[in-house]
Structure 1
Amino acid sequence: MSDVYSGFDLQFIAGKWQKGNSNKLIQNINPYTQQEILQIPGASQADIDSVYQGALTAWQSWSRSSVEERKTCCTRLAEVVEQRREEIISWLVKEAGGTRLKARGEVTAVLGIIAEAATYPERIVNTQLKALEPNQQSWVYRQSLGVIAVISPWNYPFYLSMRSVITAIATGNTVVLKPSSDTPITGGLLLGKLLEEAGVPAGVMNVVVGSSSEIGDYFVEHDIPKLVSFTGSTKVGKHIGALAVGGRCIKRVALELGGNAPLVILDDADLDQAVDIAVMGRFLNQGQICMSTNRLIVDASIYDQFVEKLKIKVENLKVGDPSLEDTLVGPIINEQQIKSIHALIEQGKQDGARLIISGETQNNVIPPHVFIDVDPDTSLARNESFGPILPVIKAKDEAHAAILANASEYGLSSGVCTRDHERGIRFALGIDAGMTHINDITVMDHPNAPFGGEKNSGLGRFNGGWLLDEFTRTHWITIQEVPKQYPI
């Protein structure tokens, strides 16, 4: 392994590290210490033209690469990530504000998605269909799409970027990655370094960092990319979808958007287990996860007992410096998010919810806030907080809990706690969401399982064969072996 990576103030375009041509600087800040990490000269629209052209040129050869070449790419990348595990974890703590617990889990998840991607080259197979006409062969060929544009968020930057990047590359596509300006290194430039070290050919992997106001729309509307993979807010996702479909060149989109995950505690649940599930599912990464438990729905018969246990558990959480091993709740990513969370807390008070746990914000760290007796029609229940706020809602019974669980514009993840597994499955199947976990946290993502949501939580599915379908195209080809006689 070479020395610790450096040169993160440059763009990665067609295999070369070069200065961005925008006059705008991207200021990279440690969210806990508020110290500047570095400044990055942003990419310009001219840089976007260059990077897409370079990726398209690289695709001409990479699309014809062998199964072994693509598998070797994945294998080498996994080796590099494993060798640099501690270096990556340190960056995730410093730049993304993730605790060491979260950062370790994120690197492990990346290794899992790389291992899954390594299986894709052999899973891209051509299929012969039954021919419906005499003397004819009918085939469906599966091919790479071309250049894939990836826009990734700041909350799980390393994993949520790699999830699309390595899948695209393993399926014969080339990639242009635009990470969040809050996490340009862990969400983008670090991946460029890793794939470069793994020996990926020049132009197959590209990273541009820039201001969304300058290059955001242009990045999506550009003629070259065939698919735009976006993970982020529903508001931005709708805008990207409109640009991708409504522009001069219609593009495919893969959109993984916001959530308002309910965790339902039924009357037969193990309360101690349910409390552990609720606390980890809400406060991991300060609640800055699309799958984070955004609402607790508790059966009235166990409500008071559950709330008392929940209060004790949350009061004992370690809050503060994300670099310490036992910290669960670290800093919020930026000032804009802090203002949004503070506003939601104040609105919750005004709406009459009882605040039983709170604390003052220090060093971007907002301590856990727990509201009980929350009205399901108020902002605390309906909005995605993306922060350490836990609203608790009382359900009259199981039927009422199901109604409350579905009372949202979102439908990403969900959970239910019950000792009766069959009851849990029946309840889960009644939730209008892409994922439901029984007796476990709502935050879960397996590389071989379909990840995605319903309603305003997005389009398409990540992982496994589902993402393989998204990132390739089918091409029907027939061969007429004996000339036909046409009625002309």
Structure 2
Amino acid sequence: MGTTSLPVIDNCSGMYIDGQWRSQSEAESIEITNPATGERLTQTPACTAADVDEAFAAVKRAQKEWAETPPRDRADVIREAISVLEEKKSEVRELLSVESGSAAVKTEAEFETAINHMEVAADHSRNKRGLISASKTYPGKENRIQRVPVGVVGVIAPWNFPLALALRAVAPALALGNGVVLKPAEETPLSGGLLLAQIFDETDLPDGLLNVVPGYGDEAGEAVVANPAASVVSFTGSTAVGRHVAKVTAERLAEPALELGGNNPYIVLDDADLSRAVDAAIFGSFMHQGQACISINRHLVHESIYDEYTDRLTARARQLKVGDPLDEDTIIGPVINEHQRDKLVSLVEATVEEGATIETGGNHDDLYVEPTVLSDVTNEMQAACTEHFGPIAPVIPFETDEEAIQLANDTEYGLSAAVQSSTLSRAERVAQELESGMVHINDQPFNGDPYVPFGGVKNSGIGRYNGDAIYRKFTKSKWTSIQRDPREYPF
């Protein structure tokens, strides 16, 4: 295998602790390869628990002074980081392609989303910081309620949208006066971690406030979750790991912020505009090879339009170009690794054995999994009841709106959902019955807005990201009272 050379990679070396780039402390390292070609990119340290503890010690030393820094000055640092990131746009997009297999349409969307998260974070300095009011209980007392930083935020970022999903936690945490220890996914330690260190290293952010510790989940990740300095632990990933994060943080009375798995239904009612519905479905199923917690996992389609919808979806899926993500015309790049590929292949095979029909796809070449449409699917089949996280579109028929709602809710998850109908009142009624943290009418479930609360119900997580929701998550209320007039006590 050869080695790819990118300036944005070459400048990222070691781990980043207390404002310093450091070489790995032990022999173990993480080899990073391009999933599209198998070409070696570089290697990063696999940080130990001792490295993580050192990062937390550094952030504790730096955070108090940062919390006392005027919000406007903290916002200026975030805006500096925005400028640095924008200057590196072409390199960053290329890095996302070669490290995470992201096609051009995805790298552009992820880059702009990352910028938007940072802009929202900078705007937090304008938020109302507290409330002063006369007490209604105690005469002559003044109450002051303010929001103060939680202190230190541990962030464990995922591999599918590494830059945007790391920054949606890191940027507001810093803007609100906290320090951060970031552990990127071992699949994407560059774009999800060390790149952020490089960006903020070029700003006026004081040393120690952002520490990046690449490593494996069972050691570095565990050390982030368990460290007593982390007042909040932000985790995006699987529900199984999320449960563990919630348990460990709860035991030490810290707070988790969890965005977990999804099995997102896409309901197409019998009066839907089919062209519009299929357009949305293609994007919602196949953006970034379906590797998103909010992508369509199940297409629930009224039986009267089922055949036509399936035919149109199949025809469109066949037209999607599969290839190297650095090719601007590519839509479907590689999945992240062999484990993910093998899981997808197994799910398709199991679903066919259960009685489903492959309308298109079903094959793979190395890590390239073809866009796959499955018909004759029921809600209990493997590709439907499992969060497949790949370019698979199971299509399930239903007879009534009530059945569609029942099928949609028949899952342990409740992250995102969508309803297509030409009758708005009908779509709204269906949407109200869906057990989901987010529902989109006449669109698909693959949606995010940095200004709007983002999160799920049931086994899809705890808490919300974005906007005012993340402002509240990364700050805590503090009540200070002033007794202006002498107070009479009962003894």
> 2:216 maps to which residue?
211
State the secondary structure of the residue aligned to 1:355. strand
1:66 and 2:64 correspond: no
2:263 to 238, 245, 260: 260
> 2:3 maps to which residue?
none
Displacement of 1:301 in angstroms is 1.1
Displacement of 1:130 in angstroms is 4.2
State the secondary structure of the residue aligned to 2:369. coil
State the secondary structure of the residue aligned to 1:31. coil
- The CA deviation string for residues 106-153 of structure 1, in whole angstroms up to 9 with x for no partner, is 000111111111110221511124402111111211100111000000
Separation in 1, partners of 2:218, 2:430: 44
2:232 to 207, 227, 231: 227
1:40 and 2:44 correspond: yes
TM-score in terms of structure 2 length = 0.96
State the secondary structure of the residue aligned to 1:476. strand
Separation in 1, partners of 2:348, 2:309: 22
State the secondary structure of the residue aligned to 1:160. helix
1:363 and 2:374 correspond: no
1:293 to 289, 293, 296: 296
Residue range with higher mean Cα deviation, 129-138 or 277-286: 129-138
> 1:185 maps to which residue?
190
Whether the aligned pair in 2 keeps the contact of 1:264 and 1:401 (CA below 8 Å) is yes
2:154 to 149, 173, 176: 149
Does the C-alpha gap of structure 1 residues 472 and 124 become closer, same or farther in structure 2, counting only changes over 3 Å?
farther
State the secondary structure of the residue aligned to 2:248. helix
> 2:479 maps to which residue?
476
- Unaligned runs of 5+ residues in structure 2 are 1-6
Give the alignment of 1:69-468 within 5 angstroms.
Answer: 69-131=73-135, 132-246=137-251, 249-468=252-471
Separation in 2, partners of 1:321, 1:61: 47
Separation in 2, partners of 1:336, 1:130: 60
1:50 and 2:47 correspond: no
Whether the aligned pair in 1 keeps the contact of 2:181 and 2:212 (CA below 8 Å) is yes
Residue range with higher mean Cα deviation, 358-367 or 225-234: 358-367
Separation in 2, partners of 1:175, 1:220: 13
- The CA deviation string for residues 23-54 of structure 1, in whole angstroms up to 9 with x for no partner, is 32111111111111111222112211210011
Displacement of 1:5 in angstroms is 5.5
Residue range with higher mean Cα deviation, 453-462 or 423-432: 423-432
Whether the aligned pair in 2 keeps the contact of 1:24 and 1:211 (CA below 8 Å) is no
Separation in 2, partners of 1:66, 1:137: 24
Q: Which amino acid aligns with 2:411?
A: S
Whether the aligned pair in 2 keeps the contact of 1:282 and 1:292 (CA below 8 Å) is yes
Residue range with higher mean Cα deviation, 156-165 or 4-13: 4-13
Q: Which amino acid aligns with 2:168?
A: R
State the secondary structure of the residue aligned to 1:414. strand
Separation in 2, partners of 1:20, 1:363: 32
Displacement of 1:209 in angstroms is 0.6
Separation in 2, partners of 1:129, 1:190: 45
Displacement of 1:467 in angstroms is 0.8
Separation in 2, partners of 1:487, 1:294: 64
Whether the aligned pair in 2 keeps the contact of 1:116 and 1:447 (CA below 8 Å) is yes
- The CA deviation string for residues 312-334 of structure 1, in whole angstroms up to 9 with x for no partner, is 11111111211111211110101
Give the alignment of 1:16-35 within 5 angstroms.
Answer: 16-35=20-39
- The CA deviation string for residues 188-235 of structure 1, in whole angstroms up to 9 with x for no partner, is 000110111122111111100112222222221111111000001111
Residue range with higher mean Cα deviation, 410-419 or 68-77: 68-77
Separation in 1, partners of 2:416, 2:70: 37
RMSD: 1.2
Whether the aligned pair in 2 keeps the contact of 1:31 and 1:332 (CA below 8 Å) is yes
State the secondary structure of the residue aligned to 2:365. coil
TM-score in terms of structure 1 length = 0.97
Separation in 2, partners of 1:279, 1:124: 42
Q: Which amino acid aligns with 2:174?
A: I
